[in-house]
């Protein structure tokens, strides 16, 4: 099974994104939300999705209940929320619908970011 090396929300992740000139892929989730478990089982376990993210983004994962400040700032009212951010934290794009097309969406965002 493919996996991602998720980083916590911290300055080091954004400094790494700036240094590598990559967008931050921010996943906001809640342990109690069935859609979050489904996203991990059906989307973030896909080798093509993991490879696209690893090759182009800094992946950051936030628990909405543990970091309500981040959930309030970036949340779209449904978990999971997936956003692409600039290294300074500005939103490029995002959404709450995660499916098998995520790998191609990652590549599109990265091309626009470059």
Q: Which two tokens stand for residue 113?
A: 């970011």
- Spatial separation of the C-alpha atoms in residues 60 and 83, rounded to whole Å: 10
Q: In angstroms, what CA-CA distances link 20 with 17, 59, 94, 100, 102?
A: 5, 13, 21, 26, 21
What lies within 8 Å, CB to CB, of 97 at 6+ separation is none
pLDDT recorded at residue 68: 97
Report residue 2's pLDDT band, with 50, 70 and 90 as the boundaries: confident
**Structural domains of the chain, ranges and CATH numbers in brackets:** 23-113 (3.40.30.10)
- Spatial separation of the C-alpha atoms in residues 19 and 39, rounded to whole Å: 29
What lies within 8 Å, CB to CB, of 17 at 6+ separation is 23, 24, 57, 58, 87
Digit-coded pLDDT (tens) for 25-79: 999 999 999 999 999 999 999 999 999 999 999 999 999 999 999 999 999 989 9
pTM: 0.94
At residue 20, does pLDDT exceed 80?
Answer: yes
Q: Tell me the three state secondary structure of residue 85.
A: strand
pLDDT recorded at residue 3: 85
pLDDT recorded at residue 1: 61
């Amino acid at each position: 099974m493919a996996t991602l090396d998720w980083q916590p929300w911290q300055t080091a992740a954004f400094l790494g994104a700036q240094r590598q000139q990559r967008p931050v892929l921010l996943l906001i989730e809640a342990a109690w939300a069935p859609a979050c478990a489904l996203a991990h089982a059906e989307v973030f376990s896909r080798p093509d999705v993991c490879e696209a993210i690893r090759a182009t983004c800094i992946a950051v994962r936030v628990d909405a209940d543990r970091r309500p400040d981040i959930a309030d700032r970036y949340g779209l009212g449904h978990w999971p929320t997936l956003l692409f951010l600039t290294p300074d934290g500005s939103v490029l794009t995002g959404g709450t619908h995660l499916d098998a097309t995520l790998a191609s969406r990652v590549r599109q965002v990265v091309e626009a970011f470059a």
